[in-house]
Amino acid sequence: MSTTEIISNSVEETFEIGKKIGELLEPEKVVCLTGNLGSGKTTLIKGIAAGAGAKNPHLVNSPTFVMVNEYQGRFTIFHIDAYRINSIAEFEALGFSDFISPESVVIIEWADKVSDALKGLDCISIQMRHIGQTSRALTLAGLNIYF
């Protein structure tokens, strides 16, 4: 699987990168996000929601305590935050497998915590890391994107 590295120098650029990803996404995809706290995962998801046609993408927030948020656009977006999930059984109890459908996309923050549940799925992988005060490197696999 080929990878693409994209550098974002600001919150606004991270949002715009997400928007481009959201424009390219098709239903039945699973987007797996990894990266440290503050690496921009939620900002990227706001952009993805905007690109997918969600009405209020700036209202997108990390579902840290509720575990799953749902947004409507060209398709339904299920946004899962696995940060507080302690087991694969707990993750599966959220109904993860039911979220994957011809009418939806699933985005998982902290996907590395539930990687065993994702084996065998054709995931779009996005790894985010700090490279400066406001700069981030995004490594994408499973999605052809050009800027």
Q: Does 147 fall in a domain? A: no
Enclosing domain of residue 98: 3-141
Q: How many residues does the chain have?
A: 147
Residue 23 lies in a domain: yes
- What is the domain count for the chain? 1
The DSSP bridge pattern shows strands 76-81 and 68-72 to be: antiparallel
CATH of the domain at 119: 3.40.50.300
Residue 76 within any structural domain of the chain: yes
The reply to whether 30 falls in a domain is yes
Distance between CA atoms of 126 and 71, rounded to whole angstroms?
20
Residue 146 forms part of a structural domain: no
105-147 pLDDT per residue, tens: 999 999 999 999 999 888 999 999 999 888 999 999 998 876 6
Interval 38-79: pLDDT, tens: 899 999 999 999 999 998 877 787 776 678 989 999 999 999
